[in-house]
Chains A and B, each alone.
Chain A
Amino acid sequence: MTGLAILRGLWITLKRLIMTYVEDFKGGKNRYYTSEGIEARRDYRVRGAITIQYPEEKLPVPERFRYVPFLVYDETPDGERKLRCTSCGICARVCPPQCIWIVRGTDANTGKPIPTPLAFYIDVDVCMNCGMCAEFCPFDSIKMDHDYEIATYDRFAHHIFDLEKLAKSAAYYAKIRPTDYAAEEAVRREKAAKAAQKTEA
């Protein structure tokens, strides 16, 4: 009979609608605006709608999520910020859209390059969030951020990030990427131990 398949299709639509309400009912108060509610709705077992009410609630980003890069600094016990960056320039060289500008300093007396960058710019309008800089940085110094809400009203005034805006603490890095951070710290400790052994011997 003509129209039967259409009716069956409509039944599927109706079923989906009903399932959404059934799941919402089962989930109770925690279904919306709580992190377990969001997790439950993005689970593969969901039968109804999977909508997340952005911006009231946000999908948690996975650890590997990458958005525009930032520079990691370590804090010494007396509160001094020490950038990990040694201005080796690998990130500027590997950057596909070439949106990283680095000014390497030179020592006035010896004329040799000094490791800390004098200036570091990233044009975030050009940055394509590919994560190559973070991937190939040998000093674990440039990392991809998790903060994706960086829209502003005037891109000409705000969208070239300088050192001040780029620098973020190692503690922040440890917070957004705990696994990577732990692995890198383990390697670092191992290296330090080996170096100590060498000096002892």
Chain B
Amino acid sequence: MAAAEKIIGSRIKRREDPRLITGEAKYLEDIQLPGLLHAAILRSPHAHAKIKSIDTSKAAKHPGVIAVYTGKDFADVNPMPCAWQAGKVKNNVNTPRVLEIDRVTFTGAGVAVVVAEDRYMAQDALELIHVDYEVLPAVVDAEKATKAGAPQLHENAPNNIALEWTCGTQDTTDRALKEADVVVKQRMINQRLIPTPMETRGCIAQYQAATEEWTVWMTSQAPHVMRLLMTAFVFGVPETKMRVISPQIGGGFGAKIFLYPEYCLMAALSRKIGRPVKWMETRSENYIATTHGRDHITEIEVGAKRDGTITALKVNTYANLGGVLSTIAPGIPTTLYGRMLSGTYRIPNIFCHVYGVYTNTGMVDAYRGAGRPEATYVIERAVDLVAHELGLDPVAVRRKNFIPPEAFPYDPVILNGLKYDSGQYAKALDLALKMLGYENFRKEQAEARKQGRYLGVGFSSYVEICGVAPSAWIGLPGEGWGAGLWESANVRVHLTGKVVVTTGSQSHGQGHETSVAQVVAGELGISVDDVIVQHSDTLGTPFGYGTYGSRSTAVGTVAVYNSLQKIKEKAKLLGAHMLEAAPEDVVFEDGKVFVKGSPDQSKTIQEIAGAAALAYSLPPGMEPFLDNTSYYDPPNCTFPFGTHICVVEVDKETGEVKIKRYIAIDDVGKVINPMIVEGQVHGGIVQGVAQALWEGAVYDDNGQLLTGSLMDYAIPKADFFPTFETDRTETPTPVNPLGVKGAGETGTIASTPAVVNAIVDALAPFGVKHIDMPVTPPKVWRILQGNGG
């Protein structure tokens, strides 16, 4: 076996970890510039109000204060763009401004800014600004916001409806529901979550008046996109006038994809003042001003035959989008949600209707999984509801409805032309059941019940969509960005044989510097240590769309792979020239070019790279250097799948749910580094389980965030969990030559319904068929006391 195939798929330690562990990594907060000023933002204490006047005179006189501005000072700066306008949102888009001018629609909207010599002076001066508000009635519930008499947030959005979107066919679904042997209806809440990356957001902007150019450091998952949106859309200048750098990023989970007003505000301030300006978000600011995730109210109707065959699924969802729209907010509860509602099952009739709704709450946008966790929760709960209604085993109902392996590529009809690439759903389920010991578990459960102990098992046989990229699909007007989402790479083999790769995707914890290097090392037959992966700086990396939607490997690394093939082709031509052999007679193997069958006489990639760089003896017409840039636009998305199983025990006295076992079988296609994949799966499971059991953002009726700090918002700790039992099946995707699908989000997508299904199973003796998240002890305790199911 060639060394190439060994390094790809091996469990090497992450190369980025030493600098992270030793504290040498430089985050935004570590950046110091001469003359740096600090900004603090005054945020609205009201969820819905008119700004009548703002008096900044006292604050301006505070020691150390350089300037105080309000929204009126930036009336010439465009509002933030909403780049993903799914549904009919053309006329009712409302987005934030750098500072709001006359109206606020959520608690935390920025209304004034103080720039001072240090951040403490800036914070103190904030207290001296007086804003005269006319407080308006607020609405925080997406369903209530659409009803008659609800407070109206925006003139251009009657009944607060930002978008209305459907997929599937209503008439056939209604007919199938009428003809079904059983129909189960259920209302379910997918509660609002706060992403809570370890590092909050921040930005430093530096403007050079002489060249009219900015350098902006920001906590972004997508620096190239930020540059494009800030320059072309917000400031109306060419994108070449700005360099955007994402330094080391301490996690994002999606919340750092978007163009936030604060980034544009720093750019505007540095241009006005002529000095670099920095803003670093506090945790409490992060909770009110950074995007949240999920927040769906959903009614489902699922129809089935007596044998468990599902014949129809109808879903109606109110998706809360907050007071204004974040960058890609409309795309999450539509394309990435409705189109995945078929799950791993053959469901002939599906209809999904979504209202995206404005409410007086913080903005909601993509959060790890983004739409797919919500879809998976709906379909995986629906399967259990059908099983419960018919008295069937939930495993049997899953098996009955699985899309069989021979049906791939499978068209679930609602995917707008895309097809599931590959899948062996029963294989993953079987492996998970074997690890669980399903039959034994049911015996153990029955025994436990006799003793008054309540065990439950929950299943989630999910499929998700990764590598969100195909331009012809994601670019469709009314559906996606109106732009493609291809990815780029440049590979350069330097004179010494050392390789520099630049990628347009971004790494904020995913380990790209390791996994991409493994692919390079494997393909070129060199050491991982000889590969440097550069990213996150618009200077020196080709344009790329950034990191989200588990796309960096399935799209970005495939671009790297394609460049490597072109480099290898050139190396073969040059190697043949050096060996005085015919190009068609040589092969490239293990980092060497040699005549087929004569590996003893070879030229190494290092020798060839040197010859290419020195360039005094090249074949006629060949350009110097081994250098190639690729732009990869995949023909399809990829569709990872698997089965997660959760075993819980519910404490009858306290209502507490304890996770006893957690089994995860994931099929993410070919794996480049199993350790990185396992890390992603572990983290994802933790976030998904946390939604099921603990997390939830709560606003009061006046639009005040009650869970505004880590004292009130539950984030799990490591000791809340057992050791995860993970394994994989490996079904390569035919979509890309690496066979990789993506692994960044499977954990959050699969785990939430597995936990809730387990709890419902445990509480079956109490007649429970559904319970809304988070399933906290008081909620369970009330059920156990026979009040409130």
Q: Do chains A and B stick together as partners?
A: no
